Structure 1
Amino acid sequence: MLLLTAGLFQEPIVAFVILLAVILVVPLIFERLRLPGLVGLLAAGVALGPNGLNIFQTESETMNLLSDIGLIYLMFVAGLEIDIDQFTRTRNRSIGFGTFTFLVPLIVGTIVGRLFGFDWNPAILIGSLFASHTLLAYPIVSRLGIVNNEAVTVTIGATIFTDIGALLVLAICIGIHAGDFTVFKLFTLLGSLGIYTIVILVGFDKAGREFFKRSGDEEGNQFLFVLLAVFLASVGAQLIGVEKIVGAFLSGLAVNRVVGDSPVKEKVVFVGSVLFIPIFFVDMGLLIRVPVFIQSLSDPKLLGLTIAIVVGLIFSKMAAAVLAKLAYRYSWTEMMVMGSLSLPQVAATLAATLVGYRAGLLTEGVLNSVIVLMLVTSTLGPILTARFATELQAETVEDLPPTLADPVWISQMTVLVPVYNPNTEANLLELAALIARSHSGRLIPFAVAFSQSHLNSSQMQERLDRSELLLERATQFAQSFDVEVSPILRIDDRIAQGITRASREHHANLIIMGWGRQSRFGERLFRTIVSDVLYAAPCPVAVARLLKSPSQFQKILIPIENLTLRSISALQFALNIATATNGQMTLMHVCGRTTSASKIAWIRSQLDLLVEKLAPQVEQIATEIVIIPEDDIGRAIVAASKSFDLLILRSSQTPNTAGGLILGNLVSQISVQIQCSMILFDEPEVVDRPLLLPNA
């Protein structure tokens, strides 16, 4: 029996099933324990590897293949998520800061390597590990609305320079380590790499644009084209004698503008984020030998190497930020944001470390030290970014444009409501009717009949009959609220696409759709129609979970973190509901327990100014401002919502990945705990410049 079980674990399909279970469950457990999901994947690799249950082997062809795909995907996503337009806007300064944050860490890392007895080649490679960085804290600066601050934009743009530079150094060091490496071969390699880079960046870009133009809406073929580009570029890199991750990163840059923010990009990133990249981190865990790792933290020399690498990285990144401050006259706060943004070492650093370790250029002690470096910097970087990003200079409420003082929808408002579930659509239609009626607008009940290849089939007719019945009932119900109703039936092969296209065709100002209770576990399992609509909608979207009639919404809670154009639109949406139901609004801001009394007073004054800006509309309803000192924002919102009829949260459709791994967010954390009605409000991507920073 034991032999049978042991043989079963050697089957590739069984190993793959175990990997899928680990990727699905372990990160969720660690996030619930308030630990990064990456740590859970590394720990799972250790537990399932040769030093644990011995289910996976580092020599396994299956693991090596999947890990290599994850490694390539990791670097591809790193290139794909770089904002080329932001780099173009501040090209010169991005190159300047990129030079600082590349050369200073490279020199410091090389010195660290030499001090601990490494030869020049591995020492320089260690320095190159310092040179790159991962924009782990990008969601923080995006949420705070300071992405367009020049210091932030320059840091984001510098990522291109640092990652390409680090990968170039890696390619040279690996080539030298291979032996028989002359100056002539060096120049040959550099020349080949230069030609290869031009072919990838220019050729793939043009080919991609032409293919996407000819393929139209065939997202499947476009997805396959992107994958082909990734792995073709990786094979090409190996043919000229450099590491495949160089080609993967360049291919990400090449197709960057081609895919833009299209659904194809989201699907490409999604596949890597939930499958291949996590497998790469599990494989990294297989390489960790627990006794050696413990020894690296107890042996004076190895512990010294780890401390030197961590301290040297932090020092060098901050020193580069100081040089940028002096060169470009940035403020001290901007300098700290630049330093903390460039601090985390995840994607390129781990990829290059693994390549160097497999090539025999880096020791196991360096590998373990880099893992510690990743854990420290991926924790410290976002903490520092969150601390100093809120202090960046922002416009005050007095500078708000006059139009923002008016309701976000003035007149002739068109509200589209997809109808599907008869048990929940009544409250959705009532909410839409109340808003549309208050703006002399119209309500569009909308149904999608999912199409088949044969439109005259009996199944197709049944779907059409059901959709027509839903629309008839919805129309009768909505007309009772004395509002213009225009029902629409559409045949489409994708429900989310049908909703977003109809909203565009009929000039909808708002989409209101239902949202059931779903755990974070469920959100990870299933790709929902709601998330697709939120991503592609051309107008604001209100995703509602309504537990009672909207006419009974007398107490409305709106948590406000930092006021930007997006968050003000969410506030104006709440104002629309409060006006229609004659309810009262409570603006809630959550600050840390250590926030001083003077800062709390300043926050309140800023929110008071905002309320004045929204007058005279706010004067018609009762408005209250509440400031709660609590370190856990989610817990504060859940506790406060218990005494309210409706909670309105602002969604964020900004990039939410770190090295390709999906991160949790506040909405998914608290949605299953909220007991009152709840609306998630989102609107299309806009320039989200800061208008007010209450916790500055």
Structure 2
Amino acid sequence: MLSTSLLLSILLILVLGKILGIAAERMGMPSLVGELLTGIILGPMMLGIIHPAAAGSEDPLKFLSDLGILFMMFLMGLSIDIESVMKTNSRSAASITIIGAAIVLALSTALMAVIGMALGQDLYTSVIQGCLIGVGLTSTSTVIGFRYLSEIGDRFSNVFKTLVAVEVTDGIFSIMALAVLLSIVGLLAKGSTGAAIDTNGFMSEVGWSTFKLFLLMLGFMIFVIKFGGVVTDWLLGVSRKSRDEQSIITLSLIVLFAVATLSDWLELTYVIGAFLAGAILAGSPYSSTVIEPRIRAIGYGLFIPIFFAYTGISMDFSALFKAPSIRLAGNLALPCYLLLFLGLLVIVMAGKYIGTRAGCALSGGYKGYEAHRIGVSLMCAGEDALVIVGIGASISASPGGQHIISNELLSIVGLIVIVSSLLAPIFMKRSYEEKDYTPPVASHTRTGLNGKSKGRYRSL
């Protein structure tokens, strides 16, 4: 139910979020940094105007925030051009994504396991937390890279084309990894009754569940490539005959909520369904001209800023210094959460850079400076990290148990997104300081299916 306090909260979030978002963009950072700061300023950490609801109670602002997640994943799916990526830079992008993600995921899980046990948690909870954080941090924000390359007139180089492909392969990898992880968490929740878990039976069930999930995702990919565009073109063509673009948007929203509902019913969660719905509609000739601009206006005009602001409201950076400390050497001791933040920041930025250099070397065709520029462009943690980790803040690994991701862990991931967004532009500018650098020029733009421009950089 609408109330004065809810309306005032939305008003403050939108006004302050827009002001700080514009300020962040002028400083070369994504607008999400300003939206996160909006939540921090309005939340308990500073002014205390807006407070997150207590666990178990209804919060309409949280509901709007969850819709922000839904629209973000839908837009993420709309940006996926599977056929185009398979034809262009697919090998190098896949190598960069897989190697970098493996480094970040493995080291994040190991570090979280150590810190979790130091905090008195059991091993499997710490490992699940580490896996979820690791999956989130495999997501990369290429917005900074795209914006910088566009500013210097470089939209046709090997670096730019590779960033476009990595944006897509990163999205596919993170959504697949998230789906598998959530299926495992679901099995843990069902099997957690206080008794010892039958390891053989549990692993068999996990294997079978993962196999079914793989078949489902594989079948969907084949459907998108072969039939998805045809079906959606026909449906949207019927809607187009009314000469009313609103009917196309309505049909797109119907597809979004229908697939999200079906996905949730299949226990893949609504988040996976939202992504898949976007991927289905990405093959339509109306996706870049009608669907994406208007869905982006709805999402980024209301729901997504509320999601980032609500994430900032839930943050508590003071907790980084309140946790028990770990003695490193001599009299040097650091609080566990502060050590976790520093460790994860190094893992994300260094892991993605190393993964990029290794992926470029494995696929071949890159000069040393090109691999370096791609690497520094991918060092920034993406906004999808907050979405994925935010999902963990709303689910538990056992019936009636605590949520997998605590506010402290959510705060750490949010701080990593902010700090990496500050550092990445510095490294990028330094990598382009050669005096003899001249942006490449092409007589045509890259196009995808149906002759329309593809990739997330369309909106820049």
Is 2:281 the counterpart of 1:271?
no
Amino acid at match of 1:132: S
Q: Which residue of 2 aligns with 1:140?
A: 148
Written as runs of structure 1 = structure 2, the 5 A alignment for 1:505-524 is none
TM-fit CA distance, 1:354:
0.8
Q: Which deviates more from structure 2 when the two are superposed, residues 216-225 or residues 12-21?
A: 12-21
TM-fit CA distance, 1:262:
0.9
Structure 2 CA distance, aligned partners of 1:56 and 1:206?
47
Structure 2 CA distance, aligned partners of 1:134 and 1:157?
13
* Matched-pair contact (CA < 8 Å) for 1:78–1:347: no
Q: Which residue of 1 aligns with 2:416?
A: 373
Q: For residues 93 and 30 of structure 1, do their structure 2 counterparts lie closer, same or farther at Cα, with a shift above 3 Å needed?
A: closer
* Matched-pair contact (CA < 8 Å) for 1:104–1:316: yes
Q: Which residue of 2 aligns with 1:236?
A: 262
* Matched-pair contact (CA < 8 Å) for 1:357–1:363: yes
Q: For residues 345 and 54 of structure 1, do their structure 2 counterparts lie closer, same or farther at Cα, with a shift above 3 Å needed?
A: same
Q: Which residue of 1 aligns with 2:236?
A: 212
Measured against aligned partners, the alpha-carbon deviations of 1:32-77 in whole angstroms (never above 9, x if no partner) come to 7887543332232233334543434335531122101111112222
Structure 1 CA distance, aligned partners of 2:93 and 2:25?
34
Is 2:342 the counterpart of 1:307?
yes
Structure 1 CA distance, aligned partners of 2:25 and 2:156?
30
Structure 1 CA distance, aligned partners of 2:101 and 2:24?
33
Written as runs of structure 1 = structure 2, the 5 A alignment for 1:212-611 is 212-216=236-240, 217-258=243-284, 259-293=286-320, 295=322, 300-329=335-364, 330-359=366-395, 360-388=403-431, 564=441
TM-fit CA distance, 1:247:
2.1
How many correspondences in the alignment? 403
Q: For residues 14 and 302 of structure 1, do their structure 2 counterparts lie closer, same or farther at Cα, with a shift above 3 Å needed?
A: closer
Structure 2 CA distance, aligned partners of 1:323 and 1:33?
31
Q: What SS does the corresponding residue of 2:292 show, helix, strand or coil?
A: helix
* Matched-pair contact (CA < 8 Å) for 1:345–1:377: yes
Q: What SS does the corresponding residue of 1:55 show, helix, strand or coil?
A: coil
Structure 2 CA distance, aligned partners of 1:19 and 1:376?
22
Q: Which residue of 2 aligns with 1:96?
A: 95
* Matched-pair contact (CA < 8 Å) for 1:208–1:255: yes
Q: What SS does the corresponding residue of 1:110 show, helix, strand or coil?
A: helix
Q: For residues 18 and 656 of structure 1, do their structure 2 counterparts lie closer, same or farther at Cα, with a shift above 3 Å needed?
A: farther
Q: TM-score, normalised by structure 2?
A: 0.76
Q: What SS does the corresponding residue of 1:78 show, helix, strand or coil?
A: helix
Measured against aligned partners, the alpha-carbon deviations of 1:360-382 in whole angstroms (never above 9, x if no partner) come to 22333322221121012222223
Measured against aligned partners, the alpha-carbon deviations of 1:392-413 in whole angstroms (never above 9, x if no partner) come to 998x7xxxxxxxxxxxxxxxxx
* Matched-pair contact (CA < 8 Å) for 1:23–1:275: no
TM-fit CA distance, 1:312:
0.9
Q: What SS does the corresponding residue of 2:116 show, helix, strand or coil?
A: coil
More strand by share: 1
Structure 2 CA distance, aligned partners of 1:343 and 1:392?
24
Q: For residues 347 and 254 of structure 1, do their structure 2 counterparts lie closer, same or farther at Cα, with a shift above 3 Å needed?
A: farther
TM-fit CA distance, 1:282:
0.9
Structure 2 CA distance, aligned partners of 1:226 and 1:266?
12
* Matched-pair contact (CA < 8 Å) for 1:82–1:157: no
* Matched-pair contact (CA < 8 Å) for 1:67–1:283: yes
Q: For residues 563 and 352 of structure 1, do their structure 2 counterparts lie closer, same or farther at Cα, with a shift above 3 Å needed?
A: closer
* Matched-pair contact (CA < 8 Å) for 2:70–2:274: yes
Amino acid at match of 1:208: T
* Structure having greater relative contact order (Cα 8 Å, sep ≥ 6): 2
Amino acid at match of 1:325: C
Structure 1 CA distance, aligned partners of 2:370 and 2:355?
13
Q: For residues 382 and 263 of structure 1, do their structure 2 counterparts lie closer, same or farther at Cα, with a shift above 3 Å needed?
A: farther
Q: What SS does the corresponding residue of 2:380 show, helix, strand or coil?
A: coil
TM-fit CA distance, 1:227:
2.1
TM-fit CA distance, 1:176:
3.1
Task: Structure 1: state its 5+ residue gaps.
Answer: 1-6, 397-561, 568-653, 664-696
* Matched-pair contact (CA < 8 Å) for 1:26–1:40: yes
Written as runs of structure 1 = structure 2, the 5 A alignment for 1:631-642 is none
Q: Which residue of 1 aligns with 2:398?
A: none
TM-fit CA distance, 1:151:
4.4
* Matched-pair contact (CA < 8 Å) for 2:68–2:299: yes
Q: For residues 36 and 260 of structure 1, do their structure 2 counterparts lie closer, same or farther at Cα, with a shift above 3 Å needed?
A: closer
Q: Which residue of 1 aligns with 2:212?
A: 191
Structure 2 CA distance, aligned partners of 1:18 and 1:304?
34
Q: For residues 92 and 25 of structure 1, do their structure 2 counterparts lie closer, same or farther at Cα, with a shift above 3 Å needed?
A: closer
* Matched-pair contact (CA < 8 Å) for 1:45–1:284: yes
Q: What SS does the corresponding residue of 2:283 show, helix, strand or coil?
A: helix
Amino acid at match of 1:372: L
Q: 2:76 aligns with which of 75, 78, 81?
A: 78
Structure 2 CA distance, aligned partners of 1:147 and 1:50?
43
Q: What SS does the corresponding residue of 1:99 show, helix, strand or coil?
A: helix
Q: Which residue of 2 aligns with 1:176?
A: 184
Is 2:33 the counterpart of 1:39?
yes
* Matched-pair contact (CA < 8 Å) for 1:15–1:56: no
Q: For residues 276 and 100 of structure 1, do their structure 2 counterparts lie closer, same or farther at Cα, with a shift above 3 Å needed?
A: same
Identity of counterpart residues, as a percentage? 19
Q: For residues 76 and 93 of structure 1, do their structure 2 counterparts lie closer, same or farther at Cα, with a shift above 3 Å needed?
A: same
Is 2:56 the counterpart of 1:20?
no
Structure 2 CA distance, aligned partners of 1:8 and 1:214?
40
TM-fit CA distance, 1:145:
4.6
Structure 1 CA distance, aligned partners of 2:418 and 2:361?
30
Structure 1 CA distance, aligned partners of 2:455 and 2:164?
15
Amino acid at match of 2:283: R
Q: For residues 43 and 150 of structure 1, do their structure 2 counterparts lie closer, same or farther at Cα, with a shift above 3 Å needed?
A: closer
Amino acid at match of 1:138: F
Computing the radius of gyration from Cα coordinates, the structure with the larger value is: 1
Amino acid at match of 1:286: I
Q: What SS does the corresponding residue of 1:358 show, helix, strand or coil?
A: coil
* Matched-pair contact (CA < 8 Å) for 2:17–2:34: no
Q: For residues 366 and 265 of structure 1, do their structure 2 counterparts lie closer, same or farther at Cα, with a shift above 3 Å needed?
A: same
* Matched-pair contact (CA < 8 Å) for 2:141–2:383: yes
Q: For residues 208 and 142 of structure 1, do their structure 2 counterparts lie closer, same or farther at Cα, with a shift above 3 Å needed?
A: farther
Q: What SS does the corresponding residue of 2:267 show, helix, strand or coil?
A: coil
Structure 1 CA distance, aligned partners of 2:30 and 2:94?
32
TM-fit CA distance, 1:301:
1.7
TM-fit CA distance, 1:107:
1.8
Amino acid at match of 1:242: L
Q: Which residue of 2 aligns with 1:584?
A: none
* Matched-pair contact (CA < 8 Å) for 1:133–1:162: yes
TM-fit CA distance, 1:175:
3.4
Measured against aligned partners, the alpha-carbon deviations of 1:265-311 in whole angstroms (never above 9, x if no partner) come to 22221221222111100110121135325547995221111000000
Q: For residues 111 and 8 of structure 1, do their structure 2 counterparts lie closer, same or farther at Cα, with a shift above 3 Å needed?
A: closer
Measured against aligned partners, the alpha-carbon deviations of 1:295-336 in whole angstroms (never above 9, x if no partner) come to 479952211110000001111111111212321332221112
Q: For residues 315 and 31 of structure 1, do their structure 2 counterparts lie closer, same or farther at Cα, with a shift above 3 Å needed?
A: closer
Structure 1 CA distance, aligned partners of 2:264 and 2:230?
23
Measured against aligned partners, the alpha-carbon deviations of 1:131-152 in whole angstroms (never above 9, x if no partner) come to 2212222232344454443344
Structure 2 CA distance, aligned partners of 1:321 and 1:67?
33
Q: Which residue of 2 aligns with 1:677?
A: none
Q: What do you get for the CA RMSD once the two structures are aligned?
A: 3.6
* Matched-pair contact (CA < 8 Å) for 2:321–2:337: no
Structure 2 CA distance, aligned partners of 1:139 and 1:34?
8
